[in-house]
Amino acid sequence: MDTEQIIQRQESMEADRSTWESQWQDCADYAMPQNSQITRKKTAGQPQSDTFVTEAEDSNIGLAAGLYSYMFPADSKAFVLEVDDPDLAENDDVKTWLDTATTLIHKYLIKSNFRQAFFEFLKSLGCFGTACLYVEQGRRSALNFINHYMGQIYIATDGQYTIDTVHRKFEYKAHQAAKEFDSPGEKCAADAVDPKRMNEKYTFIHAVYPREKYDDTISDPLKAQWASVYINLTEKTKVQESGYRQFPFMVTRFDRDAGEEYGRSPTMKMLYDTKMLGQMKRTRTKGWDKAVDPPAVLPDDGSIWPVTTRPGGIIYKTPGSDDPFYLEFKGNLAGMNDAIQTTLEQIRRGYFLDLFDALIDRQNMTATEVMARVEQKIRLLTPIIGRLQSEFFNPLIHRIIYILHEQRNPKTKKRLLPKMPDALSESEYSIQYLGRLALALKTMESEGMVKTIEQFRAFLEAGLTDFLDNLDIDKAFRDTSRNNGSPSTWLIELKQREATRQKREQALQAQQMMEAVPELAKAYRHAGAKPEEGSLAEGLTGAA
């Protein structure tokens, strides 16, 4: 596409997004007030708007923190790379590469700014229902992650509603643009060297979209699958063109209705409850004021004005006139507190916060009841977890593998990530997630096996065990260990397990033979016969 076509598409994408912007602004006012600049722009240092309620912001942070810690644990690996093909799984080169890649990806993720960017990403997801993370090669580290504010992001999808185009609309000061681009625009370049105008702001577009014709077999970025074009929108001129071999934006929707490109969020769902909570808190504050500092009632005459209500103040009145008194407050503050607490709990549930504290208010519940409640909540999050894995983590990990493979250690000149074995291709390896939410979903499989065996306990006690022949005990044990979060290093290799069992079987057979020697020798003596010369029986009876 040429410059004019990109600008026209930007105008079309802005029109498509305009129906969301007023709702985004409301959501940001309550859940991300520091970034509430969708339809209203703030100047630096301007105070936040007073919504009289912080519960949405706190709940959104709680949701982001819960998803973060449950999907990307700090004390263990979040995922492992594996293959489903049993032949490939036994290939030493493939196993070595998968283990090495898993370890190195986690290593460079921890060294980068991923944790900060991922947390910001999750807050945006909980507020706007859509979030965008940009992944690139870092200047100071191997990887760099940027969570782009949704006020700058415009998206488009293909026929299958998969996001394949992202436009980012942003501003640079003239001197900033001159440092980023070799040719930022004629007027922008002139302003960049003018001390009086170097802080003039210019609007730019970064458009990333699929090329109709590309060739990934060569290293030319202008032939890569994804075009990357920067436009100086103020001057309507192209300032840079390049490309990517993978889509660099990880754009995820929290939830999505049919036919919609942008996502929907918990903040949108709870917006009316949040606004109602703010109104109720205002009303309660007025009630507190009236109860603590009620209006004074004085006779119409006989008093000297102005009337003072300060501590230690003196009110003068005519002798014999009625004494002043305070108007009694009869509002139902207890009922208002109950209504506020009920609404607050609804908001917390709307952000799934009760999922991340499974034992809250459940002290009198059995472990089975608690597990049933947790299972019910996790089912509500299942589509959200699946969407995060398919729209975020899967393309993220593939993108990271490519970036690390293309970089070399400046000292050793070796690639940061070894080349993938020829026997393995990108389509043949899969990602096994190990975060607590992913494992909690898999724990249901283990719980199912436990429930099944429990139902057949009576048969076991009666000695009827043939039904166990239907169960692959080894696979069930290994999968349950994984589902419960045990480190994979605790499980030995299958070949080592079989060798151990073979040795144990041989030792048992030898022991049984040795125990049979006395009886065997006795049988030969009673029969008056001798074992055949050179036979095993001769050796055993001779040893006896």
Domain boundary among the residues 240, 269, 298 is at: 269
SS3 408: strand
> Looking at the domain assignment, is residue 313 inside a domain?
no
User: Structure tokens of 262?
Assistant: 């942008």
- Confirm if 48 and 288 have CB atoms less than 8 A apart: no
> Looking at the domain assignment, is residue 459 inside a domain?
no
> Looking at the domain assignment, is residue 509 inside a domain?
yes
**Predicted confidence band of residue 53 (pLDDT cuts 50, 70, 90):** confident
79-83/325-326 β-pairing: unpaired
Nearest CA among 127, 70, 77, 56 for reference residue 378: 70
Query: Per mean pLDDT, which of 311-315, 327-331, 347-351 is the most reliable?
Result: 347-351
Total domains in the chain come to 2
CA dihedral 216, 220, 226, 228 (to 10 degrees): 170
Residue 268: predicted pLDDT: 95
SS3 310: coil
For residue range 87-133, list pLDDT tens digits in order: 787 778 888 888 889 999 999 999 999 999 999 999 999 999 999 99
> Looking at the domain assignment, is residue 415 inside a domain?
no
Determine the structural domain holding residue 188 and report its residue range: 3-269
User: Structure tokens of 37?
Assistant: 């600049």
Residue bearing the bigger pLDDT, 378 or 344 = 344
> Looking at the domain assignment, is residue 105 inside a domain?
yes
Q: Which residues contact 184 (CB under 8 A, 6 or more apart)?
A: 172, 174, 177, 178, 192, 202, 232, 239
Beta bridge partners of 297: 325
Number of CB atoms found within 10 A of residue 112's CB: 19
Phi and psi, residue 200, nearest 5°: -65, 140
Nearest CA among 105, 101, 135, 99 for reference residue 117: 135
Start-end of H helices in 327-435:
333-350, 367-388, 394-406
Residue at 240: amino acid letter: Q
Residue at 242: amino acid letter: S
> Looking at the domain assignment, is residue 111 inside a domain?
yes
Nearest CA among 23, 36, 33 for reference residue 56: 33
- Please tell me the chain's helix, strand, coil percentages from 3-state DSSP, rounded to the nearest 5: 50, 15, 35
For the chain, what is the mean pLDDT? 84
> Looking at the domain assignment, is residue 61 inside a domain?
yes
Nearest CA among 249, 245, 211 for reference residue 227: 211
Residue 36 CA to residue 42 CA, distance in Å, equals: 8
- Confirm if 63 and 69 have CB atoms less than 8 A apart: no
Domain boundary among the residues 244, 269, 294 is at: 269
Nearest CA among 58, 49, 50 for reference residue 285: 50
Domain boundary among the residues 220, 240, 269 is at: 269
> Looking at the domain assignment, is residue 460 inside a domain?
no
For residue range 439-497, list pLDDT tens digits in order: 666 666 667 777 788 888 888 888 888 888 888 888 888 777 766 656 666 777 778 88
